[in-house]
Amino acid sequence: DAGVIQSPRHEVTEMGQEVTLRCKPISGHNSLFWYRQTMMRGLELLIYFNNNVPIDDSGMPEDRFSAKMPNASFSTLKIQPSEPRDSAVYFCASRSRQTTEAFFGQGTRLTVV
Amino acid sequence: GESVGLHLPTLSVQEGDNSIINCAYSNSASDYFIWYKQESGKGPQFIIDIRSNMDKRQGQRVTVLLNKTVKHLSLQIAATQPGDSAVYFCAENFNDYKLSFGAGTTVTVRA
C-alpha cells in the first residue's frame, strides 16, 4: 500500500482565495483524521471521520473551514476564504478499527500571503 | 542523554548512547499512550504504544515506561543511531479516537 496520500504537497495562495486539500486514506481504514501543525500550537486535531461520517469537528477553527468525506477513499479539507493565519502544515491520517496506530500522510504545507 | 518534561524541547545524544525522552500528560482518562517520531518534511510515524493498565512495554530498541501516579511517560532508545534524529511526540488517546499530542522533543544524534 502507498500509505496515506495527500495533495498538493505545497500550496501558496493569496488571502481571500479558496483552498482545497485532498486526502486518500489507506484502503480498509475506517477512521480518518485531519490535523494542523504549527510551531505555536503543535499538532491539533481538526476533525475526525468514522465510516465516512464526521464524528467530532470541535477542532475546526471557524466556519471558514469545512471537511467532507464523500466515500471511504477520499476526503477534502476546504478553507474559504483563506487568511495568513491559516498558514500551517495540514496532515491527514487514517486508522483501522483493529489498531491504535494512525498512519499520517506527508502533509500539505499551506502558505497564505 | 535525558530530557525533562516538555520544557526542554531539545536533546543531544552521542551515537551509541541510550536516549531517554520524557513526557508529562494531563488526562487521567486516557486509555493508551503513543510515541510518534517525525522526521523533517514528513508526517508523524508511530513508534510504540502502551495501554493505561501497563507500566512497561518493549519494542525493537525502544522501551516505553508509564507512571500513572505522577502522570509521566518516557521513551528509551537503546544504542541511538543517526537515523534516530527527529522530533519525538508523546500523545495520549482518549474517547477511543482523540489523540492529544505533546509539544515534542527534538533529538539530535552526534557522530
- Domains of chain B listed by start with CATH number: 4-110 (2.60.40.10)
| Rounded average pLDDT over B27-38 | 91
Mean pLDDT estimate for chain A: 95
- Residues of B within 8 A of A50 (CB-CB) are 97
| Rounded average pLDDT over A18-38 | 96
Residues B106 and B87: their CA atoms lie apart, in Å, by 4
* Residue whose C-alpha cell reads 513526557 in the numeric block: B23
Q: B42 and A107: CB-CB below 8 Å?
A: yes
Contacts of A102 (CB under 8 A, 6+ apart): A31, A33, A93, A94, A95, B46, B99
| Rounded average pLDDT over A82-111 | 95
Write the pLDDT tens digit of every residue in B36-67.
Answer: 999 999 999 999 999 999 999 999 999 999 99
Q: Exposed (0-12), middle (13-18) or buried (19+): which is A76, by Cβ within 10 Å?
A: middle
Nearest CA in chain B to A55: B97
- Residues of B within 8 A of A43 (CB-CB) are 44, 89, 101
- Cα B48–B54–B55 angle (5° rounding)? 85
- Residues of A within 8 A of B103 (CB-CB) are 42
Check pLDDT > 70 for residue A1.
no
